[in-house]
Structure 1
Amino acid sequence: MIQDIAPHIYHNEYKPVPPDRNSYILTYDKGTVFMKLENNGSDIVFPRFQELEGKISGLYENYIYLFSIDKERFYLIPGLDTSLLPDYSFQNTSLLRTVGPRYHAFAGITGHQLYQWYSTRRFCGCCGQPMKHDTKERMMYCPSCGRHEYPVLMPAVIVAITNGDKIILSKYEGRNFKKYALIAGFAEIGETIEETVHREVMEEVGLKVKNLRYYKSQPWSFTGTLLFGFFCDLDGEDTLTVDHEELSMAQWFDRSEVVGQGNDISLTNEMMMVFAAGKEPR
C-alpha cells in the first residue's frame, strides 16, 4: 500500500527543526501538487531549498515543518512564488497514485493532507482571530480565546461483503475514479466502527452482514481518512438494493472474476486481491 515505503522510514513526530539546503519543499493549490516529472512521467521530483537561495529573502525563516522520511525533511513555504521555479509545475494529486519513487508519492499526498488542515486553521473558529503555530506539538492555538486545534482524522470503513465464493464490487457515482471498489463509508459520531460497517452496508446495498473480521488499517490522505478494512459474511437475502446517489453500480462477482485496480497502493485493492486468491480471513 502507499504507506508501505520500506526500507524508508516515515517520521511524523513533530520536531520543527530548521530546513537545510537539501530539504524538500511541498507546495499545493486546489488539489494539485508542485513537482517535476522525469523518466517519461514515471518519477516525481520535489524542489529543494537550495534552488531558491538568493531568490527569496528569509528563505530559511518562513516555513512549516511537516515530517521526515529517513533523514530527508519536508516543509511547506506559505505563499511561495512558484514562478521562481520554472522547471516545476502543478499536477493533480491523483497522479501520486501511479508515480514513483513510492516514498515520495507518499510524502506528496501526506503533505497535502497536512496542507489542507493548516489552510483551514488560519483563523479561530470561535472568535475569528488569527491562529498561531505551537512550538512543541502539531497544534494551532488562538492567543485571543485560548482555543486549541489539532489535526483532524476522519475514520472510515472498507467492507468486503462475501457469500461463499462471491463478493460485492461497486463503482462510485460522480467521481473521476472509475475502477471497481468495495463498499465504503465514513463513521458517524456516536457509533463504533463495527456499527459503521453494518450501517454503510445497509445504506449502500440494502444487506445485512455478520461475522465481521478486522483485516487491517490504512492512512488514506487522498481523502483525509483513516481506513479500517473488514471482511464480513452475508446474513440473509442476497438481493442488492443499490443507493445510486453513492454508487453507479454494485453487484456480486465470483472469486475468479475479481479484477484489481491496477496498482498496489490501496487497502481496497489489497482486500480484493486477497479474496481473489482465497486468502481472506475466515
Structure 2
Amino acid sequence: MTLLLALCILLGLIGFGVPIAVALIAIAVGIFWMADVDQLIVAQRLYRGVQSFPLLAVPLFILAGQIMSRSGISGHLVAFAKTLVGQMRGGLAAVNVVTSMFFAGMSGTSMSDTAAVGGMIIDPMVKRGYSRAFTGAVTAASSTIGIIIPPSVPMVILGAYLGISTGALFAAGLISGVVLGLALIFVAWLISIRAGYPVEEKFALRRAGSAFVKALPALLMPAIILGGILGGIFTPTEASAVAVVYGAAVGMFYYRTLTPALLYQTLCEAAVLSGAVMLVTAAAHVMGFAFTYEQLADSILRPLAEL
C-alpha cells in the first residue's frame, strides 16, 4: 500500500462519517494485513500510544477547564472583557475574542472554549444587531486560540511524543496566542466600522475594578500553571493536577457554584471528552507505527532529502 493510497482511503472514510479514531485504526489494520503482520500489534500499539506520564496531563487539563466552565466563570470573564474593550466599535466582537483568550488559559481545548464562550456571547451579539454570519465567524476564529495559549492539550501531546520541552511550547504559545488575539480584534474592529456595529458601555474604572476582582481567581490559573512550569516548581503533569485542585477550590469556595452533583456531572463530561482525545491519540500512534514499519513516509522524505 502506497502512502498516497493510504491517505486517500483515510480521507474517504472520514468523509463518509467514520469516526477519526476508527478510520486511523482501519488504515493501520489494512497495512498490517497486507504485510502479513500479526494484528495483535494493533492492540499493543494502542496501549503504548498512551502509556506516557506526560500524557496524564491531557485528561487533567481537560477536567480543569470543564470545572472552571461549570463554575460559571464564563460570565465573569465576559463582564471583565466588556469593561476593557467594550467601548470599541463592535465591542462585543472584541469581547468575544478577549474572553476566548482568557478562557484558553484554563481549558486547553478549542471545543471547551467554543462551548463556554459561544454559549455566553452569541445570543447577546445577535440581539445587538450583529449578523449571525459575523458572530459565528468571530466565535469560530477566536476559539482556535484555545489550543495556542497554555495550557494546550495538543502541545502536551506534541511534547510527549517528540521529546520537546512542554514549558518551552507553552511559553511560545502564550506569545503567539496573544498576537493572534490582537490581530483578530483588529480585523473585527475594521469590519465593525464598515458594518456600523454598536459600541458598548464606556470605560469606568470602578466597574472595571469590580469585574476584575470577580474574574481574578480564573485569571490566576494560567499564571500559576505557566509560572510553576517555567519556574521549575512542578512538571506539566503536576501542573495539570494543581489546576484541577485549584479550579475545584475556586468553584466550591469562592464562587460557590460547584456543588457535589455538578462536580459529578463535570467529571462525567470530562471523562467522555478525554476518552475521545486519548483514543484519537492512540489510534494516530498505531497508524504512525504502521507507516514507519512499511517505510511509507520514506517515499516522501527521500525525494525531499535529495533536493
Q: For the superposition of Structure 1 and Structure 2, which TM-score range results when normalised by the shorter chain? A: under 0.3
| The structure with more helix, counted as a fraction of residues | 2
TM-score (normalizing by structure 2): 0.24
| The structure with more strand, counted as a fraction of residues | 1
TM-score (normalizing by structure 1): 0.25
